[in-house]
């Protein structure tokens, strides 16, 4: 398939995991990509492999995000596909969290999504073209114990997705989300790294919540993102597609 021939795509958090897999898939189907990440070394490695562009930015900083978009547009042209994928989790039961943790988790997962959409949506609307795919989480649908702040951020992403779908439709811009369940990436092991055995049990609990009884691979998510970003999904907007082995079914 060559669904992205002649298209440009910007992927936040594209240096690792789901973002790197999505960048590779879009390039394989013809896109020119820009990767934005705090980890510029890894972002440059991924971009070099794909013949793409990499720029360093912390997505929770709206000014840095706008500057990264300007650099990406300069390098690959106006953005046709935006994948708001950068995310982080700082697991811990809510009573143990601090406002500093709220700032970081909401900042990266939610404000980052707002910042990149803010910097790109106007151009998409002016050009009457564009697809945005936000990477939410089943945590934002079901609520995940030990991940209350992350759940709040991802529920925010899902609500934002619907509102932008409504605002963008008259300009031909679609906006959808994916809600991954447990996917084998460094993020899935964050709790185990922080809490050891308890964290490992949290991971296993998520896996046990899926009806398929296993974690997913990044390609399962990148395939869903590519579909929603492509013209094959031309009559789909405002939706959140679970990619989670049936963890929730609504």
Q: Which positions touch ligand NAD (CB under 6 A)?
A: 12-13, 15-19, 37-39, 58-60, 85-88, 108, 135, 137, 180, 182-183, 185-188
- C-beta of residue 153 within 8 angstroms of C-beta of residue 107: no
Cβ-based neighbour number of residue 45 at 10 Å? 15
- Pairing mode of beta strands 53-56, 131-135: unpaired
- C-beta of residue 112 within 8 angstroms of C-beta of residue 59: yes
Most distant CA pair in the chain, distance: 52
Nearer to ligand NAD, 10 or 59 (CB): 59
Nearer to ligand NAD, 85 or 237 (CB): 85
- C-beta of residue 1 within 8 angstroms of C-beta of residue 21: no
Q: How far is the CB of 29 from ligand NAD (least distance, A)?
A: 20
Nearer to ligand NAD, 189 or 234 (CB): 189
Q: How far is the CB of 150 from ligand NAD (least distance, A)?
A: 7
Say whether 171 is catalytic. no
Structure token digits, residue 26: 């879009």
Q: Out of 4, 53, 116, 150, which one is annotated catalytic?
A: 150
State the Cα–Cα distance between residues 157 and 87, nearest whole angstrom.
11
- The DSSP letter of residue 180 is E
State the Cα–Cα distance between residues 225 and 25, nearest whole angstrom.
10
Q: How far is the CB of 55 from ligand NAD (least distance, A)?
A: 10
Q: How far is the CB of 235 from ligand NAD (least distance, A)?
A: 26
- C-beta of residue 26 within 8 angstroms of C-beta of residue 76: no
Nearer to ligand NAD, 125 or 212 (CB): 212
Q: Which residues are catalytic?
A: 150
């Amino acid at each position: 398939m060559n669904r992205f021939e002649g298209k440009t795509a910007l992927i936040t958090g594209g240096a690792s995991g789901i973002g790197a897999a999505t960048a590779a898939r879009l390039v394989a189907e013809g896109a020119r990509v820009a990767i934005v990440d705090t980890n510029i070394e890894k972002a440059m490695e991924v971009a070099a492999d794909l013949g793409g562009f990499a720029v360093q930015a912390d997505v929770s900083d709206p000014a840095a995000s706008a500057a990264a978009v300007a650099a990406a547009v300069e390098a690959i042209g106006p953005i046709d596909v935006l994948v708001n994928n950068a995310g982080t989790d700082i697991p811990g039961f809510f009573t143990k969290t601090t406002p500093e943790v709220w700032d970081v988790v909401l900042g990266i997962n939610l404000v980052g999504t707002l910042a990149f959409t803010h910097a790109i949506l106007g151009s998409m609307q002016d050009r009457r073209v564009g697809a945005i795919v936000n990477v939410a989480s089943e945590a934002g649908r079901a609520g995940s114990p030990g991940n209350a702040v992350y759940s709040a951020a991802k529920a925010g992403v899902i609500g934002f997705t619907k509102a932008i779908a409504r605002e963008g439709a008259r300009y031909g811009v679609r906006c959808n989300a994916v809600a991954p369940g447990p996917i084998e990436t460094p993020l899935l092991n964050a709790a185990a790294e922080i809490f050891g055995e308890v964290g490992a049990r949290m991971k296993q609990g998520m896996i046990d919540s899926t009806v398929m009884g296993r974690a997913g691979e990044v390609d399962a998510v990148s395939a869903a993102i590519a579909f929603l970003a492509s013209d094959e999904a031309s009559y789909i907007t405002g939706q959140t597609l679970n990619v989670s082995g049936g963890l929730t079914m609504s």
